[in-house]
A = this chain, B = another copy of it.
Amino acid sequence: MSGGALADTNMADLEARINQLESRLAETEQQADAAQQQAANFEFHGYARSGLLSNDEFSGATGTGAYMSAAGALGASVGRLGLEDDHYVEANLVHNRVTDNGSKAYFKIMLADGVETNNDWAPDDSDLNVRQLYTELSDLTWFSGAFEHASIWAGKRFDRDNFDIHFVDSDIVFLAGTGAGIYDIQLSENWKANVSIYGRDFGTIDSASTDVENYIATINNRFGAWQLMLSGMHSVDNDNRTTDSASPTQRAEKGVHALLAYHGDNFYGLSDGFSKTGVLSGVGLGSELKGIGSNGNLNDDAKAVRFFTYGATNFADNWRIAPSLMAEVSEDRVKENDQFKWVSANVRLAQVFNPNFEIVYEGSYQYMNLDNTADQAKGSFYKVTLAPTLKLSTVGGFFDRPELRFAVSYVDWSEALDNYSVSLASDASTMGNGGEALFALQMETWF
């Protein structure tokens, strides 16, 4: 037998094996594709924090959290680190569907719960509820022009473009409720807009069995790094709801709200990182500046203005810093002639020791001058926290999770604020007396 003949034989053999490989691979490609598609059709996302909080007498601490100060009822929060006593979870179950022509549907259910009890079986405390339930369509072949990259949604949701200062547990705007809207309408090369209508419930007038709802129309514009968001709202019959006997008032039926913000992609021009600065203002129902249109207990001519700025950067090897400042003045808010002023400053620092460990420091200061027409109080709130922190990875910076932390905090405030409450209700909870050390063991994660 010649070499050529042998080669032919072998070659036929190799060719057969290649044929087989090709057909097996084609099948496996399909299978891998199908598996990936199947996995992609379902998404699981979440946020959670859960921990133990104790005061220095080893009693469980109640009424704490970032909104623990007297001004907390007005939306004035302090640094959250080491103050949280709750078990809060958001579990998102997402279903994706993609058609052959590339159109996409995104459906989300958000289950959420927040309880204080440390016990594992707690149905009586359970606050489990569905916070979001909506569908969003995108990449519709039918959309073109300014709408080419737009997506459209309906249902109950948190608005996509809400943003927050994580460290003080406060959104800048938290637009949420039930409605419909369109994102990313390209009005010009540098102008993108979202429009939406959201409904909120303020309660029921039993005699007429009507729901009092608030309808909020919003246009949210982005011009490069600048954001201008305008909202108008109308709640028929809101002035006819039974008012709290402790604070009879002429409730607002309408409102206007505006946000102007600058979203910087560096830390105030000084270093890498980010910084965001802006101002919010509103009248009537619009004077609830964070949760737009969510508060029905506002006076007819309530008015408020709020300033904020915050950012984060690395300021040395293995050191990170995230300062924030928020301040608000509001008047005629719940009753004619009430007046509330507060300013809240917070700094979080992280000192990185290795890929899994850092020490986190937080200092909070808040000044408040509060006049609910019946009582007046002014003074300051202070908090310092030290938190040795384990992370899955310190590489991702401030916003990398999960974290497991031990935190020790000291909180105190001016005596003038002891037992003061913004609310006029006789059973309103107050912040009690200051001067307390708090110990926390907590996990926090998101994904």
Picked from B59, B99, B211, the residue with its CB within 8 Å of the CB of A392 is B99
Picked from B3, B126, B134, B142, the residue with its CB within 8 Å of the CB of A8 is B3
User: Contacts A50-B133, A60-B201, A89-B133 given; 17 further ones with Cβ under 8 A?
Assistant: A2-B4, A14-B14, A14-B15, A28-B32, A48-B107, A51-B178, A52-B179, A54-B215, A58-B213, A59-B212, A60-B213, A95-B447, A101-B355, A103-B392, A107-B445, A135-B445, A180-B441
Is A406 on the interface with B (CB-CB < 8 A)?
yes
**Contact in complex: B154, A441 (CB < 8 Å):** yes
User: Which stretch of A34-42, A260-268, A311-319, A361-369 is in the interface?
Assistant: A34-42
Is A125 on the interface with B (CB-CB < 8 A)?
yes
For A441, the chain B residues whose CB sits under 8 A away are 154, 179-180, 197
- Interface of chain A residues 300 through 327 with chain B (CB within 8 A): none
Q: How far is the CB of A154 from chain B (nearest CB, A)?
A: 4
Picked from B44, B50, B406, the residue with its CB within 8 Å of the CB of A156 is B50
For A154, the chain B residues whose CB sits under 8 A away are 50-51, 404-405, 441-443
For A130, the chain B residues whose CB sits under 8 A away are 87, 89, 113, 115, 126, 128
In the complex, how many residues of chain A place their beta carbon closer than 8 angstroms to a beta carbon of chain B? Answer: 130
Is A11 on the interface with B (CB-CB < 8 A)?
yes
Q: How far is the CB of A393 from chain B (nearest CB, A)?
A: 5
Is A236 on the interface with B (CB-CB < 8 A)?
yes
List residues of A whose CB falls within 8 A of some B CB. 2-8, 10-11, 14-15, 17-18, 21-22, 24-25, 28-29, 31-36, 38-40, 42, 44, 46, 48, 50-52, 54, 57-63, 87, 89, 91, 93, 95, 97, 99, 101, 103-105, 107, 109, 111-113, 115-123, 125-135, 137, 140-143, 152-158, 176-180, 197-201, 204, 209-213, 215, 234, 236-237, 294, 354-357, 390, 392-393, 402, 404-406, 429, 432, 441-443, 445, 447
Given contacts A60-B201, A142-B357, A201-B119, contact A443 B129 (CB under 8 A): no
21 contacts between A and B (CB under 8 A): A3-B4, A3-B5, A4-B7, A6-B8, A14-B14, A25-B25, A31-B33, A38-B39, A50-B134, A59-B210, A59-B211, A62-B210, A87-B130, A95-B447, A99-B393, A105-B392, A107-B445, A118-B177, A120-B177, A137-B356, A143-B356
